[in-house]
Amino acid sequence: MNSDVTAPLNHDGSWSALARAVFAALLKHGTLTRAAIAELTGLSRVSASGVVDQLIHRGFVEHVGSLPSSGGPNARAYSLASDAAYAVGVAVDLDRIAVMTTDVSGAVVSRHDEPIDDHDAVVSAVHRAITAQLRRLDAPLSKLRYVVLGAAGVVDPLAHELAFATNRTSWQPSLAAELRARLKCPAVFENDVNLAALAEARLGAGKGGDLVLVWVDTGIACGAILGGRLFRGASGWAGELGFVPAAVVGAADKVPDSPVPVATTLQQSIGIKGVIALAKSKGVDVDHLLRFETAAPDDAAEPVLTELVGRIAAAVAAPVLVFDPGLVVLAGCIVRGGGDALLGRVRAQLAAIAPIPVRVEMSQTGPDAILAGAMLLALDHARDNLFEIADETPAVQGAAV
């Protein structure tokens, strides 16, 4: 939901549109009088008062006292009822989940982390964590409006399920449906790196503009915010850089009994396993290689680091040349350990191989970027769902920045 109310809003006159306008004004400005709400939304005072009354009746707005009024007695003041609805973001990793609950104002009210070990554990653990958090808040399940789960893999853009789970081939594409059935509310999957990109655009280095976030970690991927929205592609595969060939090795390395050369992918080249293999092949300690911001590389590590930087820059060049973004953000454990020292080298190498000038920055959202993105997307849809007339799951479109 776009909360940027800086001028009278255009709306279609329906109650839903009017309610969204009033809600957005209160979300942006906090406590307001009815006269201020009318001025900010472009509604007449009578219309604004009618909508405020309806929102109070539905439990979305509450009277919170009074504010000074020009030329008369103090006017009654109103604000959002922060406990009117809740949204939940979930980060699903190989062996753990993190669950964050926020109220409708955007305030984080609870967080839970728990180890997991298989497909069935995800649904049960998330359900258990969410219901426990709501009980602590003394909130009924009906106030839960939306759940977004972030995980590594390709998300079916229609079913909003994991069509291809990068880290768990045994998973079935039914997790979100199972959770919806248990929670009686919308629950959808979103690609983890897409969520990290969304968090970076809202909270980090990319505030207010388009960006491509390149994730260099266990897996390799990118998330793109283009035209202010997440870009997922026609089938959900946009950004899966790990499958992009990095090189085609010589005939001596062909698959036995096959004329086709072996393709080395970016995943094999700069994923964590590839970096470990590179370091071992040169007799270099991988921990030292990935943390050289605090300990400068020695003579043995320097050529390995140079090769790694070249590989990372080549991976970054691909989305730069395809999307021509104004900003590239580097994220993930492979680049995080190198800090500004690695960032400077990647910038220089990228400038040498890509003809497009682009700003390159390190992620500012930290290790919880995926969880933060899941929470933000869930909150967007939870707010929209407050005013849905039909009792159905709204289509999950590209999240607006």
- Which pLDDT value is given to residue 290? 74
What's 33's domain CATH number? 1.10.10.10
- Which pLDDT value is given to residue 209? 80
Of the candidate ranges 173-187, 228-242, 386-400, the one whose mean pLDDT is the lowest:
386-400
- Which pLDDT value is given to residue 167? 66
Show the domain range for 183. 85-195+369-385
| pLDDT single digits (tens) 119-130 | 667 889 999 999
For residues 362-368, average pLDDT: 93
| Residue 40 shares a structural domain with residue 167 | no
| Structure tokens, 335 | 């680049």
Residue 399 domain-assigned (yes or no): no
| Residue 293 shares a structural domain with residue 181 | no
| Residue 137 shares a structural domain with residue 174 | yes
Our count of domains for the chain comes to: 3
Residue 320 domain-assigned (yes or no): yes
Confidence of residue 395 (pLDDT cuts 50, 70, 90): very low
- Which pLDDT value is given to residue 400? 57
Are 342 and 360 a contacting pair, CB within 8 Å? no
| Residue 153 shares a structural domain with residue 68 | no
* Complete DSSP assignment for 307-332: HHHHHHHHHHHHHHHHH--SEEEEES
| Residue 55 shares a structural domain with residue 185 | no
Are 239 and 230 a contacting pair, CB within 8 Å? no
What percent of the chain stands above pLDDT 90? 60
Q: Which H or E run includes 215? A: strand 211-216
Res. 240: pLDDT tops 70: yes
- Which pLDDT value is given to residue 170? 60
Residue 2 domain-assigned (yes or no): no
Are 52 and 22 a contacting pair, CB within 8 Å? yes
Residue 393 domain-assigned (yes or no): no
Res. 35: pLDDT tops 60: yes
| Structure tokens, 312 | 């990372």
Res. 1: pLDDT tops 70: no
| Residue 119 shares a structural domain with residue 236 | no
| Residue 136 shares a structural domain with residue 213 | no
Res. 256: pLDDT tops 90: no
Q: Which of 80, 104, 123 is the last residue of a domain?
A: 80
Residue 12 burial by Cβ neighbours in a 10 Å radius (0-12, 13-18, 19+):
exposed
- Which pLDDT value is given to residue 399? 57
Paired sense of beta strands 327-331 and 359-362, if any: parallel
Residue 394 domain-assigned (yes or no): no
**Spatial distance between the Cα atoms of 7 and 41, rounded to a whole number of angstroms:** 7
Residue 7 domain-assigned (yes or no): no
Res. 15: pLDDT tops 50: yes
- Which pLDDT value is given to residue 197? 97
What's 348's domain CATH number? 3.30.420.40
Ranges of beta strands (E only) in 70-152 are: 72-80, 86-92, 96-103, 108-115, 144-151
**Spatial distance between the Cα atoms of 261 and 284, rounded to a whole number of angstroms:** 29
Residue 266 domain-assigned (yes or no): yes
| pLDDT single digits (tens) 285-340 | 887 777 765 556 677 778 888 889 999 999 999 999 999 999 999 999 889 888 88
What percent of the chain stands above pLDDT 70? 84
| Residue 298 shares a structural domain with residue 381 | no
- Which pLDDT value is given to residue 387? 83
| Residue 30 shares a structural domain with residue 92 | no
| pLDDT single digits (tens) 43-101 | 999 999 999 999 999 999 999 999 987 667 789 999 999 999 999 999 998 889 999 99
For residues 221-239, average pLDDT: 94
- Which pLDDT value is given to residue 391? 33
The structure tokens 């590839």 sit at: 274
The angle formed by the CA atoms of residues 104, 132 and 182, to the nearest 5 degrees, is 85
- Which pLDDT value is given to residue 263? 58
Q: How many CA atoms lie within 13 A of 168 on its CB side?
A: 20
Q: Which of 63, 80, 97 is the last residue of a domain?
A: 80
Confidence of residue 196 (pLDDT cuts 50, 70, 90): very high
| Structure tokens, 12 | 């279609």
| Residue 225 shares a structural domain with residue 357 | yes
| pLDDT single digits (tens) 137-182 | 999 999 999 999 999 999 998 888 888 877 665 666 788 999 999 9
Q: Which H or E run includes 224? A: strand 220-226
| Residue 234 shares a structural domain with residue 360 | yes
**Spatial distance between the Cα atoms of 85 and 140, rounded to a whole number of angstroms:** 10
| Residue 24 shares a structural domain with residue 100 | no
Residue 6 domain-assigned (yes or no): no
